[in-house]
Amino acid sequence: MRSSLDFIEKFALKYKKRTCFAFDEFGDIEKLDGIAIIKLFRGIIQGQKQSVFIFSGSYESVMDRLFVSSKAPFYRMVRIIQPGFIEKESLLEFATRKFLQLGIPFIKDDVIGGVEFTAGHPYYFRLFIQEYYFQYLQEKRKPDLAVVLDNMMQSENSYLEKLWDETSKSKETRIVIIKTVETGKPYSGSQDKGINISRALRELIGKGIVISDGSIYRVTDPLFEEFIRQRVL
């Protein structure tokens, strides 16, 4: 591990370049020998001058413990960036190029439907293009958008069912996520006074399932939101 981290800076110095190195799902480090590895990272990285690092992770609560809270090992060593969803215009530009590359007709209304369905989620938008392409190859004509979207739901069904099972184990989180899907305002209209909305909301935000979007809250996974609308509501 030490030699790998040292290599990043040595490489930059050797070629007189500044380097950027990314660690995805960095929060999973806690599943390993977390404290020792984090100390090693901190000790080596803070002395490097030619390299910058990107640490990304799915679980906000874990990343907060590592980077944001005042007791975090990387406190004040990093710049916090919370990426949002990709803008519609950028996705349309990407789809235009991709459809041309795949040799399939670009139907703007269908692509806009895919953008709206995926809410700018990069993984799901690529899945939309993939399913649209497969449907085109099978039928040799313009695919039915509703069939494409249904195929997406089917392909992710196992994951969505598992996510719902985990989310709905607690009565509090189940009520809050349903209210979030219904209105975007989990605090409003709750009839059960025994439910701690704040605690459940913090848990869902910490797991990256829900985010605050201005004055409302929203589910980060658009297919999970659709799953709840179809199967739960």
**What is the tens place of the pLDDT at every residue in 184-232?**
998 876 666 678 888 999 889 888 899 888 889 999 999 999 999 999 9
In this structure, the answer to whether residues 172 and 143 fall within a common structural domain is: no
In this structure, the answer to whether residues 97 and 141 fall within a common structural domain is: yes
In a domain, 193, yes or no: yes
CATH number at residue 224: 1.10.10
- Identify the three-state secondary structure at position 23: strand
**Residue 62 predicted with pLDDT over 80:** no
What would the mean pLDDT of 103-118 be, rounded to a whole number? 93
pTM of the entire structure? 0.74
Domain termination residue (choose one: 155, 178, 208): 155
In this structure, the answer to whether residues 128 and 174 fall within a common structural domain is: no
**Residue 126 predicted with pLDDT over 90:** yes
| Domain count of the fold of the chain | 3
In this structure, the answer to whether residues 127 and 172 fall within a common structural domain is: no
pLDDT digits (tens, 9 = 90+) for 2-20: 888 889 999 999 999 999 9
In a domain, 76, yes or no: no
In a domain, 186, yes or no: yes
The per-residue pLDDT for 100 is 93
In this structure, the answer to whether residues 129 and 174 fall within a common structural domain is: no
In a domain, 73, yes or no: no
Q: How does residue 29 score in pLDDT terms, banded at 50, 70 and 90?
A: confident
CA–CA gap between residue 133 and residue 104 (Å, rounded):
7
In this structure, the answer to whether residues 149 and 172 fall within a common structural domain is: no
Domain of 188, in residue numbers: 165-231
Tokens standing for residue 45: 């990285």
Phi and psi (nearest 5°) for 19? Answer: -115, 150
Max Cα separation, the chain? 65
